[in-house]
Structure 1
Amino acid sequence: MTSKPSRTTFVAFKTSTLGPGEMRKLVLPDDRAIAIYNVDGKFYATDDLCTHGGASLTEEGILSGRIIECSWHFGSFNVTTGEVVTTPCSRDLRTYAVSEADGMLYIEA
Structure 2
Amino acid sequence: MSATRVCALSELEQDTARRVVIGDVPIAVVLDSAGEVHAIGDTCTHGAISLSEGFVEDDTLECWAHGSRFSLRTGAALNLPAYEPVPVYVVQIEGDDVLIDPTVTKEF
Relative to the length of structure 2, the TM-score reads 0.87
What are structure 2's unaligned runs of at least 5 residues?
Answer: 103-108
Distance in 2 (CA, whole Å) between partners of 1:41 and 1:17 is 13
What are structure 1's unaligned runs of at least 5 residues?
Answer: 1-6
SS in 2 for 1:74: coil
Distance in 2 (CA, whole Å) between partners of 1:87 and 1:14 is 34
Relative to the length of structure 1, the TM-score reads 0.86
How far 1:62 moved relative to its partner? 1.1
Amino acid at match of 2:41: D
How far 1:50 moved relative to its partner? 0.2
Question: Which one of 61, 64, 76 corresponds to residue 83 of structure 1?
Answer: 76
Distance in 2 (CA, whole Å) between partners of 1:20 and 1:62 is 11
Identity of aligned residues (%): 28
Which structure: larger Rg?
Answer: 1
Amino acid at match of 1:51: T
How far 1:72 moved relative to its partner? 1.6
Count of equivalent residues: 101
8 Å CA contact 1:35–1:47 kept in 2: the answer is yes
| Cα deviations by residue, 1:67-104 (Å, 9 ceiling, x for unpaired) | 11112221111111101111111100101000101111
SS in 2 for 1:84: coil
How far 1:33 moved relative to its partner? 0.7
Question: Which one of 35, 39, 55 corresponds to residue 49 of structure 2?
Answer: 55
How far 1:8 moved relative to its partner? 2.4
| Cα deviations by residue, 1:3-62 (Å, 9 ceiling, x for unpaired) | xxxx4211011101113212101111x221110010121101011000111100112x11
After TM superposition, the runs of 4+ consecutive aligned structure 1 residues lying more than 6 A away are none
8 Å CA contact 1:34–1:45 kept in 2: the answer is yes
- Residue 72 (str. 1) matches residue 69 (str. 2): no
